[in-house]
Amino acid sequence: MTTGRMRRVDEAIRQVIGDAVAGDLKDPRVGFVTVTDVRTSADLRHARVYVSVLGSGGRESEPDEREASLAGLRSAHGYLQGRLASELRLKRTPTLEFTYDETTDRALRVDALIDEIGRS
């Protein structure tokens, strides 16, 4: 598969999983989760799904909130794979692996530092 085609597959998977997480998952462990990126293997057997978890009040999430959300996503694996299979016409539906993306946390820390410097 060409790189452009793989990026389109990754984006399509990100969209389907993001929509399912935002609207359909009822697991109370899954907090405010955003699917930030997806990287699919060339053979479509595996897809690493990167997610960020926002804490309450828009703050950085705590480690236990992140772990609970990842556990909830892992337990919904079968459902999410089924959504992929029904919405995308891929020759094979990848196995999903959920990974925490710390980019949002780093951005929140930088914003807080900038605010702190601005108040000095």
Under the banding of pLDDT at 50, 70 and 90, the label for residue 62 is confident
pTM of the entire predicted model: 0.83
For β-strands 46-54 and 32-40, DSSP reports them as antiparallel
- Amino acid 110: pLDDT: 73
Strand pairing partners for 51? 35, 100
What pLDDT digit, counting tens, does each position of 1-14 carry?
A: 568 888 999 999 99
- Round to whole Å and give the CA distance between 34 and 13: 13
What pLDDT digit, counting tens, does each position of 75-105 carry?
A: 999 999 999 999 998 888 999 999 999 876 6
* Domains of the chain as residue ranges with CATH: 3-119 (3.30.300.20)
Share the mean pLDDT of the chain: 88
Under the banding of pLDDT at 50, 70 and 90, the label for residue 108 is low
- Amino acid 113: pLDDT: 72
3-state secondary structure the chain: CCHHHHHHHHHHHHHHHHHHHHHCCCCCCCCEEEEEEEEECCCCCEEEEEEEEECHHHCECCHHHHHHHHHHHHHCHHHHHHHHHHHCCCCCCCEEEEEECCHHHHHHHHHHHHHHHHHC
CB 40: neighbour CB atoms within 10 A? 22
**Residue predicted with more confidence, 61 or 18:** 18
